């Protein structure tokens, strides 16, 4: 079977009406569904065994019209294995920490008698604060069944694009939507597409950056594990808009489940003619292949990523030229990350004005955050730009674990900075986070409580950046090592006030003179912790008399960046 028209998609959707009900939050009229979260977090907690237990129990009890469906991450990672029960005439119920021994009770009470098992049910009254666009299908469809994706309007955006829209119209829609790169830099996606299309040359490439390397970040992995086709469809739309007929997904080999589901999705899309020659009966040809990375953090930088794709050492290049001008094998290349692509299809089907109506003036749409650390509800949350840190931590995240007091939150991973309690009511968007000394990054958020020492936190991130430095430029290669040696000396109780002065000087030197974003942002955790928690640095210094003479602002740069 090859899908050649939008009518073909309509027929498939009509054949799968029950799926549309599930996606739209309605129960199925004639079927009970048991959705089991089988992303990496669920599988590691025993979800496969839970799935098998449901299947065996249903078979043993001879229940009819019940489907057990493997899905991606439902989002409640703190309560894996997670299961959602859809019973006709009832609201869906999500259960947490469902193990093999719990399955008979759920089958007997909920499935047979229609009475939810309260002790396992998750209650999250703040779901109305979330708005799922990038995660719209995660936890609701079987990621290894392309027909489930097709049944919920999958590939309709691509069909409309190649049969009814010009490349210029698509780029203009993406520009007007206000979508900015979700990989950390926040560069306007439509502008990047426009620059790439405008370059001369017979060949262009589009690359998906799935090299998610921040500690505590798992947004991209969850999208690829739960909804791989949304990325394939968006890359094809981008290829059509840019004039590219080849796409590459650069993904770290440490994501075996995501890699497996991507390979399955690509094979299925090719079989239906949604990748390959003459897509939707047009003259547009496009295909995608996967390139594996070895887990180097620096390969998240687009020029280092491209070098790695070419089989070279993963290290950044001097810019300009930018990849949009001269990228993969010297051809114009557009690099976007997973979450950026996950927003493309809804923008095409619903329009740029719809997307632009969400979020803040300069940061449109939603953002997926991975909540980790000392927080009760560890997991994924997708919220409109402009929500405050307090809402995200205390309402969606459920507050600080074990009744402890909030101390700080690290946003942006090793490239970001810590945010103290005084900024909890700051609306989250690209510009506000930079203004208070941190950054959006890819969306990882690690929460810390009063038991955490902020100097040790800075040391942890600095050691990570030092180890991940590619070594090409001296400021990053030597500077991060010297910074780590100083902070290690301080935490060992052997530091002096001169060491604090030297550390502060080095942070600005490394930041202002490194070649790429890794080195330029590596000092951020030190800069932000010295700004907000200098007393904890001083507590490590043995000589109390020297502290009285120390001016913590002595070496601050009077520049916008230093502020």
Helix (H, G, I), strand (E, B) or coil at 99: coil
Q: pLDDT-based confidence at 175, cuts 50/70/90? A: very high
Burial of 24 (0-12, 13-18, 19+ CB in 10 A): exposed
Q: Which of 84-93, 151-160, 362-371, 493-502 has the lowest mean pLDDT?
A: 84-93
Question: What's the confidence (pLDDT) of residue 64?
Answer: 86
CA distance 171 to 472: 35
Output the six-digit token pair for 146. Answer: 């392309």
Q: Which residues pair with 236 in a beta bridge?
A: none
320 preceded by a cis bond (ω within 30 of 0): yes
**pLDDT, tens digit, 9 for 90 and up, residues 285-339:** 999 999 999 888 899 899 999 999 999 999 999 899 999 999 999 999 999 999 9
CA distance 394 to 400: 7
**Residue 29 pLDDT exceeds 70:** no
CA distance 423 to 408: 9
Question: What's the confidence (pLDDT) of residue 184?
Answer: 79
**pLDDT, tens digit, 9 for 90 and up, residues 466-523:** 998 998 999 999 999 999 999 999 999 999 989 999 999 999 999 999 999 888 999 9
Topology, domain 146-356: Rossmann fold (3.40.50)
Q: Is 382 in contact with 137 (CB distance < 8 Å)?
A: no
Output the six-digit token pair for 193. Answer: 């597409």
Question: What's the confidence (pLDDT) of residue 563?
Answer: 35
**pLDDT, tens digit, 9 for 90 and up, residues 36-51:** 999 999 999 999 999 9
How do 366-373 and 444-449 pair as beta strands? parallel
- Under DSSP, the state recorded for 543 is -
DSSP 320-331: SSPTTTS-GGGS
In the structure, how many helices (H) and strands (E) does the chain have?
25, 13
CA distance 271 to 435: 49
**Residue 268 pLDDT exceeds 90:** yes
How do 287-293 and 246-252 pair as beta strands? parallel
**pLDDT, tens digit, 9 for 90 and up, residues 377-427:** 999 999 999 999 999 999 999 999 999 999 999 998 888 889 999 999 999
Reported as type and span, the H/E element at residue 380 is strand 379-384
- Under DSSP, the state recorded for 364 is B
Average pLDDT on 19-29 reads 58
CA distance 337 to 535: 38
**Residue 55 pLDDT exceeds 70:** yes
Q: Is 122 in contact with 84 (CB distance < 8 Å)?
A: no
CA gyration radius for the chain?
25
Question: What's the confidence (pLDDT) of residue 129?
Answer: 86
- Give the chain's mean pLDDT: 91
Axis-axis angle for helices 189-198, 228-242 (nearest 10): 40
Average pLDDT on 518-546 reads 88
Burial of 275 (0-12, 13-18, 19+ CB in 10 A): buried
CA distance 382 to 414: 21
Q: pLDDT-based confidence at 437, cuts 50/70/90? A: confident
Average pLDDT on 197-218 reads 91
- Domain boundaries 454-548, CATH class: mainly alpha
Topology, domain 31-123: Glutaredoxin (3.40.30)
- Domain boundaries 366-449, CATH class: alpha beta
**Residue 218 pLDDT exceeds 60:** yes
CA distance 506 to 456: 18
The Cα-based distances of 126 to 76, 122, 219, 478 in angstroms read: 13, 12, 20, 47
Q: pLDDT-based confidence at 13, cuts 50/70/90? A: confident
CA distance 205 to 327: 8
Length of the chain: 563
* CB neighbour list of residue 521: distance below 8 Å, 6 or more residues apart: 412, 414, 415, 416, 439, 511
CA distance 440 to 391: 16
Average pLDDT on 172-177 reads 98
DSSP 438-463: ---TTSEEEEEETTS-HHHHHHHHHH
Question: What's the confidence (pLDDT) of residue 559?
Answer: 37
Average pLDDT on 77-99 reads 92
Q: In what order do the strands lie in the sheet with 444-449?
A: 379-384, 366-373, 444-449, 406-411, 417-420
Q: Is 401 in contact with 407 (CB distance < 8 Å)?
A: no
Task: Sketch the domain layout of the chain as residue ranges.
Answer: 31-123, 146-356, 366-449, 454-548
Helix (H, G, I), strand (E, B) or coil at 480: helix
DSSP 25-57: T---SS-EEEEEE-SHHHHHTTHHHHHHHHHHH
CA distance 396 to 403: 16
Q: Which of 91-95, 333-337, 338-342 has the lowest mean pLDDT?
A: 91-95
CA distance 197 to 308: 23
Average pLDDT on 431-447 reads 88
* 473 phi and psi angles, rounded to 5 deg: -105, 145
**Residue 96 pLDDT exceeds 70:** yes
Average pLDDT on 130-158 reads 94
């Amino acid at each position: 079977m090859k899908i050649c028209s939008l009518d073909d998609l309509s027929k498939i959707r009509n054949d799968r009406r029950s799926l549309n009900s599930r996606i739209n939050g309605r129960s199925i009229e004639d079927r009970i569904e048991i959705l089991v979260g089988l992303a990496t977090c669920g599988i590691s907690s025993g979800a496969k065994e839970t799935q098998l237990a449901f299947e065996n129990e249903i078979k043993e009890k001879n229940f009819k019209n019940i489907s057990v469906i493997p899905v991606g991450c439902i989002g409640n990672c703190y309560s894996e294995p997670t299961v959602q029960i859809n019973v006709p005439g009832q609201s869906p119920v999500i259960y947490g920490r469902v193990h093999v021994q719990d399955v008979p009770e759920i089958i007997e009470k909920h499935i047979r008698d229609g009475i939810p098992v309260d002790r396992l049910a998750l209650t999250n009254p703040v779901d109305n604060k979330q708005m799922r666009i990038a995660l719209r299908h995660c936890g609701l469809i079987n990621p290894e069944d392309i027909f489930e994706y097709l049944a919920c309007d999958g590939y309709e955006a691509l069909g409309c694009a190649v049969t009814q829209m010009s490349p210029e119209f698509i780029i203009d829609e993406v520009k007007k939507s206000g979508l900015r790169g979700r990989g950390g830099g926040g560069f306007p996606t439509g502008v990047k597409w426009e620059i790439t299309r405008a370059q001369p040359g017979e060949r262009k490439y589009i690359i998906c950056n799935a090299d998610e390397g921040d500690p505590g970040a798992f947004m991209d992995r969850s999208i690829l594990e739960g909804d791989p086709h949304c990325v394939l469809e968006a890359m094809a739309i981008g290829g059509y808009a840019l004039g590219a007929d080849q796409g590459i997904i650069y993904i770290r080999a440490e994501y075996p489940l995501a890699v497996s589901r991507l390979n399955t999705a690509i094979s299925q899309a090719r079989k239906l003619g949604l990748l390959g020659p003459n897509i939707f009966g047009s003259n547009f040809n496009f295909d995608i292949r996967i390139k594996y990375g070895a887990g180097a953090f620096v390969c998240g930088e687009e020029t280092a990523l491209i070098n790695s794709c070419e089989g070279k050492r993963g290290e950044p290049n001097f810019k300009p030229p930018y990849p949009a001008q001269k990228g993969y094998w010297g051809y114009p290349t557009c690099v976007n990350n997973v979450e950026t692509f996950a927003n493309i299809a809804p923008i095409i089907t619903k329009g740029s004005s719809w997307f632009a109506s969400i979020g803040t003036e300069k940061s449109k749409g939603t953002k997926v955050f991975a909540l980790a650390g000392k927080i009760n509800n560890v997991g994924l949350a997708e919220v409109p730009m402009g929500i405050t840190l307090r809402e995200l931590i205390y309402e969606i995240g459920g507050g600080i674990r074990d009744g402890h007091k909030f101390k700080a939150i690290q946003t942006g991973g090793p490239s970001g900075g810590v945010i103290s309690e005084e900024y909890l009511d700051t609306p989250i968007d690209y510009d506000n986070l930079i203004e208070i000394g941190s950054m959006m990054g890819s969306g990882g958020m690690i929460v810390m409580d009063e038991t955490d020492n902020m100097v040790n936190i800075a040391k942890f991130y600095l050691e990570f950046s030092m180890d991940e430095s590619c070594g090409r430029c001296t400021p990053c290669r030597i500077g991060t090592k010297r910074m780590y040696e100083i902070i290690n000396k301080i935490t060992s109780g052997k530091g002096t006030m001169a060491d604090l002065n030297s550390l502060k000087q080095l942070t600005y030197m490394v930041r202002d003179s490194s070649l790429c974003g890794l080195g330029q942002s590596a000092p951020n955790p030190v800069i932000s912790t010295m700004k907000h928690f200098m007393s904890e640095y001083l507590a490590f210094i043995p000589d109390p008399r020297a502290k009285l003479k120390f001016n913590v602002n002595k070496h601050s740069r009077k520049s916008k960046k230093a502020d």
